[in-house]
Amino acid sequence: MEPRDAALLRACRRQPVDHTPVWFMRQAGRSLPEYRRLRGDSSVLSAIKDPELAAELTLQPVRRYGVDGAILFSDIVAPLVAIGLPIDIVPGRGPVVEHAFSGAEDLAALRPIDPQADLAPVLATIAILVDELDVPLIGFAGAPFTLASYLVEGGPSRSFGRTKALMHAEPAVWEELTSRLAAIALATLRAEIMAGAGVVQLFDSWAGALSPAEYEAFALPGTRAILEGLSDLGAPRIVFGVGTGELLALMARSGADVIGVDWRVPLCAASRRVGDGFALQGNLDPALCLAGVEVASQAASTVLEEAAGLPGHVFNLGHGVLPETDPGVLGAIVDLVHEHTPGGRET
Ligand code: 1CP
């Protein structure tokens, strides 16, 4: 089992740490040759259903990089697939939905999830991992807005036009859709924590497409239902989205303990926007990891400087590892973060 005083848990709780913890969103992935070898031509969804394989894919980046957290190999759409929605993950594209959600008549397909039955392979993966890991396992789920966007658009989107049209034109349907998605995410995260995940992250990746007023009315209620519904379990809760600079103050009202920040807002500025009482996670631009060790290390040092004096900092990228990233660059960043001595970490 993970040590209870692991740096990741301590930083999330704004307790003093002897090194800044670091992990990378999408750390298990195509940038690792051992990942490409093991995954071969199998689909992401079939890998998620194979506990031995999913556990190994989770462990690979922990072994290679020595990161302070292991993110479960799964996907934000996995719980929706598990309740029978016709979603496929298309290589190079992402989740694609056979019949896009178009109105009240499509709500019935979003039945409640029974994690013990529907997520049996995921829980079996966690059972393997808790025996193997000496760092916390990070469970995760997709936030209602981000998941709804895939269902309504039928796949990845740039403008989120259909999603915004639905939320504004049919607010009652939107509310029902997002509260069903929130119930699924809450049950999923509760089951992951009870199976052994020590930290959870709610991915609201595309929330930055919303104005603050839209976020508050149409995304925050579902997100808050999930995060507040986890409070009795004690696992630190991280919320993250891309392009959320204008939303950070609202995200601080979501029930999260840790606010994930992308690279557009320096952490010291993000800290002022969220106010007291939160740890921050981030926020090296993943594109800079393509510019070589020297550039990436310099940028990582800048992130650490901007985080100096924050009550809790979890080093991460501002979004996921890009597939073309040289693993050597990520390894150098982990070493640099670990060698840095954080100061002023008093609660
Ligand atoms: O180490 C890890 O993080 C791997 C586990 C993981 C995670 C955390 C996968 C497997 N997916 C996710 C989360 C996820 N999935 C998010 C939130 C993180 C983020 O913002 O990047 C999102 C938005 C998705 C949806 C998704 N699945 C996309 C994005 C599509 C878009 O809208 O731009 C994509 C490309 C996928 C496919 C996917 N999921 C995971 C992997 C390894 C892959 C690549 C599939 C392949 O090999 O072709």
What is residue 3's predicted lDDT score, i.e. its pLDDT? 57
Mutate to test the pocket of ligand 1, among 22, 26, 74 (most ligand atoms within 8 A of CB): 26
Task: Report the C-alpha gap between 8 and 137 in whole angstroms.
Answer: 10
Averaged pLDDT, 80-98: 96
Residue 338 Cα, ligand 1 centroid: separation in angstroms? 27
Residue pair 86/99 in contact (Cβ under 8 Å)? The answer is yes
Given the CA of residue 242, which atom of ligand 1 is nearest to it?
A: 20
Q: Whose CA is closest to atom 40 on ligand 1? A: 75
Given the CA of residue 29, which atom of ligand 1 is nearest to it?
A: 42
What is the 3-state secondary structure of the chain? CCCCCCHHHHHHCCCCCCCCCECCCCCCCCCCHHHHHHHCCCCHHHHHCCHHHHHHHHHHHHHHHCCCCEECCCCCCHHHHHCCCCEEEECCCEEEECCCCCCHHHHHHCCCCCHHHHCHHHHHHHHHHHHHCCCCEEEEEECHHHHHHHHHHCCCCCCCHHHHHHHHHCHHHHHHHHHHHHHHHHHHHHHHHHHCCCEEEEECCCHHHCCHHHHHHHHHHHHHHHHHCCHHHCCCEEEECCCCHHHHHHHCCCCCCEEECCCCCCHHHHHHHHCCCCEEEEEECHHHHHHCHHHHHHHHHHHHHHHCCCCCEEEEECCCCCCCCCHHHHHHHHHHHHHCCCCCCCC
pLDDT at 347 over 50: no
Does residue 283 have a cis peptide bond before it, meaning omega lies within 30 degrees of 0? Answer: yes
pLDDT at 267 over 50: yes
Residue 269 Cα, ligand 1 centroid: separation in angstroms? 28
Residue owning tokens 């100096």: 308
Start-to-end Cα distance in the chain: 26
Size (the chain), residues = 347
Q: Whose CA is closest to atom 38 on ligand 1? A: 94
Strands 279-284 and 313-317 come out as: parallel
Q: What is the pTM of this model?
A: 0.96
Residue pair 64/32 in contact (Cβ under 8 Å)? The answer is yes
What is residue 30's predicted lDDT score, i.e. its pLDDT? 85
Q: Whose CA is closest to atom 37 on ligand 1? A: 94
Averaged pLDDT, 237-263: 98
What is residue 343's predicted lDDT score, i.e. its pLDDT? 59
Residue owning tokens 């990741």: 8
Task: Report the C-alpha gap between 311 and 94 in whole angstroms.
Answer: 36
- The pLDDT tens digits for 154-185 are 999 999 999 999 999 999 999 999 999 999 99
- The pLDDT tens digits for 127-142 are 999 999 999 999 999 9
Q: Whose CA is closest to atom 17 on ligand 1? A: 203
What is residue 41's predicted lDDT score, i.e. its pLDDT? 83
Catalytic positions are: 26, 30, 39, 75, 150
| Contact 321 CB / ligand 1 (< 6 Å) | no
What is residue 344's predicted lDDT score, i.e. its pLDDT? 43
- The pLDDT tens digits for 294-346 are 999 999 999 999 999 999 999 999 999 999 999 999 999 999 999 987 754 44
| Contact 151 CB / ligand 1 (< 6 Å) | no
Residue 75 Cα, ligand 1 centroid: separation in angstroms? 6
Residue 94 Cα, ligand 1 centroid: separation in angstroms? 7
Strands 87-90 and 94-97 come out as: antiparallel
**Amino acid in the structure at residue 154:** G
| Contact 203 CB / ligand 1 (< 6 Å) | yes
Q: Whose CA is closest to atom 7 on ligand 1? A: 75
Mutate to test the pocket of ligand 1, among 76, 93, 146, 238 (most ligand atoms within 8 A of CB): 76
Given the CA of residue 75, which atom of ligand 1 is nearest to it?
A: 11
Task: Report the C-alpha gap between 322 and 183 in whole angstroms.
Answer: 31
What is residue 346's predicted lDDT score, i.e. its pLDDT? 40
| Contact 153 CB / ligand 1 (< 6 Å) | no
Given the CA of residue 92, which atom of ligand 1 is nearest to it?
A: 48
Please classify residue 155 by burial: count the beta carbons closer than 10 Å to its beta carbon, then call 0-12 exposed, 13-18 middle and 19+ buried. Answer: middle
Nearest Cα to Cα of residue 57 among 36, 41, 78:
36
| Contact 73 CB / ligand 1 (< 6 Å) | yes
What is residue 40's predicted lDDT score, i.e. its pLDDT? 84
| Helix 220-228 / helix 171-195 crossing angle, nearest 10 deg | 30
Q: What is the mean pLDDT of the chain?
A: 95
Given the CA of residue 26, which atom of ligand 1 is nearest to it?
A: 3
Residue 162 Cα, ligand 1 centroid: separation in angstroms? 22
